[in-house]
Structure 1
């Protein structure tokens, strides 16, 4: 049996499992958003971090088991490697998605301003490390693949600004 898993978050730079092959590509009709709460890796139940999930969005594309337990939906989608392709490179890849249904997904945080998300990310830390590291690693991995995800890049820059301001404030206090 062949199983392809689409990594659109930390699976891009840290799979955490053995795989036989890797294919760089994208899915159509979704975009990446920092709307999922992380209480087990990048935050705590008291102070959840934010991680990415996918949200349906017409005309958009998104590049690129235990770890995904907080994602309540599994869908099978087509993977494309060329923007103009009408035939997928691989059909039926497994994609984990966090639904916005709070009854099914208690960790869904939903939309917030960049400022609010950055504040939360700057302060959240869990067993896998600071939430900001997740944001920066995702940005770096996407840029390495040649993907400039506007949402990720804007959030990473806002987090950097918050960290810069916080360091300045802390040094002024001392």
Structure 2
């Protein structure tokens, strides 16, 4: 793996405290990169309320994490479990122009795309904290219109659990549908922004999957492409 790392700008680091203060939103609103629309507080609240209309108040809520939520949930959760969802797969399918990329050095970001299956982590949020925790999560995952909230069914052991997750907006201009594995691997290897590199993000994904004992064929194929490119100096 690459050792080309640098110290992230603390304004872009994802912590509960910074999410509560809206630090990342403020930084992006002050200087939005070309091609990125940052939602207003009113828009965030509206989309959150629309999503919660499909959740029974007074009940715990599960969130399915497949990317950075696996190693940095920044959530106050009551329990976790490994789970699988059908009909969606983990994919580096969003061109990244903020945080771990810029318009000049774009990276690639994970989302759930249609088809296949995905193993990840379920976080159970206590009923009394659902609204407050999702409000923080919205500031992280819904700050632009590249993701869409989706209710899915996750299998954990013998249980089928209704959960909330975030899937790619295929109509978005930064959607990488149709990109070859080589082009995505290049974005991961070269993407760099104020939060760090896309390579850091990819490495953290690989390490989290290993830690939870999960296998992802798509990530393994990308890993091979990245290693080949590093060996050949492409």
Alignment TM-score, normalising by the size of structure 2:
0.61
2:214 corresponding residue in structure 1:
147
CA distance in 2, matches of 1:164, 1:33: 24
Shift of 1:73: 1.2
Q: Which has the higher helix share?
A: 2
1:158 corresponding residue in structure 2:
225
- Within the alignment, does 1:39 sit opposite 2:97 as a pair? yes
Aligned ranges for residues 38-117 of structure 1 at < 5 Å?
Answer: 38-57=96-115, 60-64=116-120, 65-69=138-142, 70=144, 71-82=146-157, 85=158, 88=160, 90-91=161-162, 93-101=163-171, 105-117=172-184
1:118 corresponding residue in structure 2:
185
Shift of 1:5: 1.4
Alignment TM-score, normalising by the size of structure 1:
0.80
Secondary structure, aligned partner of 2:80:
coil
- Runs of 4 or more off by more than 3 Å in structure 1? none
Decide which moves more: 155-164 or 138-147.
155-164
CA distance in 2, matches of 1:158, 1:120: 12
Give the superposed CA RMSD: 1.9
8 A contact 1:26–1:79 mirrored in 2? yes
- Unpaired runs of at least 5, structure 1: 170-174
Secondary structure, aligned partner of 1:23:
strand
- Unpaired runs of at least 5, structure 2: 1-57, 121-137
Shift of 1:47: 2.8
1:14 corresponding residue in structure 2:
72
Aligned length: 157
